[in-house]
Structure formats: structure tokens, C-alpha cells
């Protein structure tokens, strides 16, 4: 860039020892950086506080949870709540729920990314009749009030045999949940991925065509690495939303062997008796672990990828 070229002669002229002005500038920059870091840490502390409270409560003995003076970090941590949360007598079905959640969310993420990506490419790179309508449809679905659709949707799924009340393969209900999640998450994924795909410069695509390969094929080969970060960012959103999905999952899945973690969690507050808050906090902490793991696995891709492919103005 031009500015870098201009800087060269100047640096060539200056001697090896940095001038006082440069030192001052560097020190000011470091001080500024340190100030920003401090602010960043303060923001972190405030934002994450409720999560910290949840995790800290999971380790507190019961008496500290209900006491009038709040305890920040307990001095007598206990693992009882975690034990209770996973106890098959008190809260049966934990591991089944883990398996079901992973299966449902895993399939949903993969399918939604694949299907949405194809549609996004079509929307971004092709002119075809109905294109605008399709885009409007996508955002229209995002605007639908979900609560009104629960019962009619259940009726549809029941007709296809995709709910829990049908005898055969218990996978039916899980499949029913997956297609429901897809129906609601695909519009968002298409919308977002379209933005990322739109950001890929035309020149790259045209360069690929000269190569002698088919337009779409080469395009995809070039496009994928550039859009991969966008795919990752979208997949995180889909993952988290599917993971926390409750309304539809609750209606579609009835038998305990089919429950997802979110439904399993709702049983902690669903009895007519008291709620074991410590165990609930422990259980919530447990349900957050897979999400964190997923994030850690893909976050490196994000850092790079979020920097490329967003919509250009």
C-alpha cells in the first residue's frame, strides 16, 4: 500500500536508536492498550457474572444458596449437586438426553449448513425468477410467531408418524424434531450465508472459469475456503439455538428415552414439590459443556473467518 511505501524512506533515514518521539508514542500506545485491556476485563467480569453465579451456585452447599447474605465463592464446595443432577433415581435419563441432544443438534447443524449453503449460492450467484420472493420468504418465516404454530405443526408431524406417540422406531420423534428445527433455522442460515457469499469478489469466480472447469464446480472449490469461516459462524448460531430449543421439542418428544437435555432440564422445575436449585445449577452447567467444547473446537476458524466474507457495503 502506498502508506507503507512512504514509510520506508523515512525509516531508512532514521538511525538505529529510536527517537524520543517514537518512544513516547510507543509508550502512549502501550498505556492505551493497557487501559483498553482493563476496560475489556471489567466488561468481561460484568457480562459473565450471571454465568459465574450459576457455576458458583452449583458448588455451594444448600444452606449458602438460600442464605440472606450472598456467598461469592463458597469455602466448602460440594459435588453433591452434580451427583444429584446425574442420579438416575432423582433425575433419570441424563445420558440418554445427552445422546439425543448431540444426535439432534449434530444432524441439524450439518444438514442446515449444507442445504442453506446451496440455497445461498443460488441466491447470491444466479438470477432466476422467484429469487426475490424466496429471499422475502426466508425473512418472513423468521417473523412468524412460533407459539401459534406449535399445535398445527404437531398435527402435521403426527400425520407423518414423526412424534413420540407413534409406536414404531423411536427415531421417528427425533426425526420430527430435526425437520422442525430445520424448517425454522434454514431461513436464518440462508440469510446469513447469502451475505457471506455475496462478499466473495467476482474476479475470483471469473478467474476460475478461465481455467476450463464448470462455473459452479470451480466456483464452489474456490468459494468454500473463503466462506468456511462464515459457515462456521453460522453453524455456531444454529448449534446454540438448536441446543436450547424447548417449545417444539417438548411437544414432539414425550417418552423419556427421547428427551433432549433442555427437556431433561425442565423436569427440575416441573414437580409439584420443591425445586433443588443446587442440582438445577449443576445440571445447567453440565448442559453448557458441549456448547463450550464445540465453540473451542471451531473458534480458531472464526477468528480468521469472521474477518472475511461478511457483507460488503
Partner 1 sequence: MNVRHFAAAALVAALAVMAIGATGASGRSSADTLTVWLQVDAQSGWPDVVAAATAQFKSQNPGWDVDVQYQTWGTHLGKFDATLAGGNAPDVIEMGNTEMTKYMAAGAFQDLSGASFPNQSTWLEGLAASGRYLGKTYGVPYYAGSRVVTYRTDLFRQAGIKRLPTSLAQYTAAARKLAARNKAKNFSPVYIAGTDWYVAMSFVADFGGTIAVQNSKGGWVGTLDRPKALAGLAAFKKFFNAASRASKVTDEARPQPYDVYSRGGAASMIGPGWFSCCVGTHKAATGQFVMPSHTKGQPMPGFLGGSDLAVPIGADRDKATAWIRAFTDNASMTALRAKGNIPNTTSMLGSSVNERAARRSWFVPTAKHWVSVENGNILRTMLARILTNKMTIKQAAEVASDNIAFTLNQR
Partner 2 sequence: MTGTAAETGAPRSRRRRSFAVRGLLRGSVPYLLVAPVLLVIAAVLGYPLYKLVTLSFQQYGLPELIQRKGTWIGLDNYESVLRDEIFWDTLVRTIVFTAACVGLTIGVGTLLALLLVQVSPWVRVLLTGGLVLVWSMPPVVAVQVWYWMTNFENGVVNYVLTELGIGDYSQHDWYATTFSKLAMVTLLVVWAAIPFVTITVYAGLAQVPRELVEAAEIDGAGPVRVFRDVTFPILKPILLILTSLSIIWDFGVFTQPYLLIGASHLDATNYLMGVYVYIEGYGHSDFGRGAAISMLMLLMVVALSVVYVRRMVRMEDVR
Asked whether 97 and 257 are in contact (CB, 8 A), the reply is no
Gap between the Cα atoms of 212 and 218, Å rounded: 9
Gap between the Cα atoms of 308 and 107, Å rounded: 26
Binders of partner 2 among residues 85 to 144 (CB under 8 A) are: 115-116, 118-119, 121-124, 126, 128, 131-132, 134-137, 139, 141-144
Binders of partner 2 among residues 142 to 161 (CB under 8 A) are: 142-149, 151-153, 155-156
Which of partner 1, partner 2, none binds 78 (CB below 5-8 Å, type-dependent)? none
Q: Which of 55, 220, 228, 302 binds partner 1 (CB under 8 A)?
A: 220
Max CA-CA distance within the chain? 84
- DSSP 3-state of 255: coil
Toward partner 1, which CB reaches closer, 124 or 291?
124
Toward partner 2, which CB reaches closer, 75 or 128?
128
Asked whether 91 and 264 are in contact (CB, 8 A), the reply is yes
Instruction: Please name which of 156, 186, 128, 135 lies closest in space to residue 251, comparing C-alpha atoms.
Output: 156
Closest approach of Cβ 64 to partner 2, in Å?
A: 10
Helices (H), 14-130: 20-58, 62-66, 80-86, 94-125
Q: Does 21 bind partner 2 (CB under 8 A)?
A: no
Binders of partner 1 among residues 2 to 61 (CB under 8 A) are: none
**Residues that bind partner 1 in the complex, under the rule CB under 8 A:** 62-63, 66-68, 89-90, 92, 107, 111, 114-115, 118, 150-152, 154-155, 157-169, 171-176, 178-179, 182, 213-214, 216-217, 220, 250-251, 254-256, 266-267, 269-274
Amino acid at each position: 500500500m502506498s502508506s507503507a511505501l512512504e514509510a520506508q524512506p523515512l525509516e531508512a533515514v532514521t538511525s538505529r536508536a529510536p527517537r524520543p518521539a517514537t518512544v513516547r508514542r510507543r509508550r502512549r500506545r502501550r498505556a492505551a492498550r493497557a487501559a483498553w485491556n482493563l476496560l475489556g476485563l471489567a466488561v468481561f467480569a460484568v457480562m459473565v457474572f450471571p454465568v459465574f453465579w450459576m457455576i458458583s451456585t452449583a458448588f455451594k452447599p444448600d444452606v449458602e444458596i438460600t442464605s440472606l447474605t450472598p456467598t461469592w465463592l463458597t469455602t466448602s464446595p460440594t459435588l453433591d449437586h452434580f451427583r444429584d443432577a446425574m442420579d438416575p433415581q432423582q433425575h433419570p435419563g441424563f445420558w440418554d438426553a445427552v445422546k439425543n441432544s448431540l444426535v439432534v443438534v449434530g444432524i441439524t447443524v450439518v444438514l442446515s449448513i449444507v442445504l442453506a449453503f446451496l440455497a445461498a449460492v443460488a441466491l447470491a450467484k444466479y438470477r432466476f425468477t422467484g429469487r426475490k420472493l424466496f429471499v422475502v420468504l426466508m425473512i418472513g418465516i423468521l417473523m412468524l410467531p412460533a407459539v401459534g404454530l406449535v399445535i398445527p405443526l404437531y398435527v402435521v408431524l403426527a400425520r407423518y408418524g414423526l412424534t413420540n406417540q407413534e409406536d414404531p422406531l423411536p427415531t421417528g420423534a427425533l426425526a420430527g424434531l430435526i425437520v422442525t428445527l430445520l424448517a425454522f433455522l434454514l431461513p436464518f442460515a440462508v440469510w446469513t450465508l447469502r451475505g457471506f457469499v455475496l462478499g466473495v469478489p467476482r474476479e475470483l469466480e471469473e478467474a476460475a472459469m478461465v481455467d476450463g472447469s464448470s462455473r459452479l464446480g470451480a466456483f464452489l472449490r474456490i468459494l468454500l475456503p473463503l466462506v468456511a469461516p462464515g459457515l462456521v459462524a453460522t453453524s455456531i448460531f444454529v448449534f446454540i439455538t438448536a441446543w436450547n430449543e424447548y417449545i417444539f421439542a417438548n411437544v414432539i418428544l414425550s417418552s423419556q428415552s427421547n428427551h433432549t437435555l433442555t427437556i431433561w432440564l425442565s423436569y427440575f422445575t416441573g414437580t409439584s414439590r420443591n425445586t433443588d436449585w443446587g442440582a438445577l445449577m449443576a445440571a445447567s452447567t453440565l448442559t453448557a459443556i458441549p456448547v463450550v467444547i464445540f465453540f473451542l473446537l471451531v473458534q480458531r476458524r472464526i477468528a480468521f473467518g469472521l474477518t472475511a466474507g461478511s457483507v460488503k457495503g
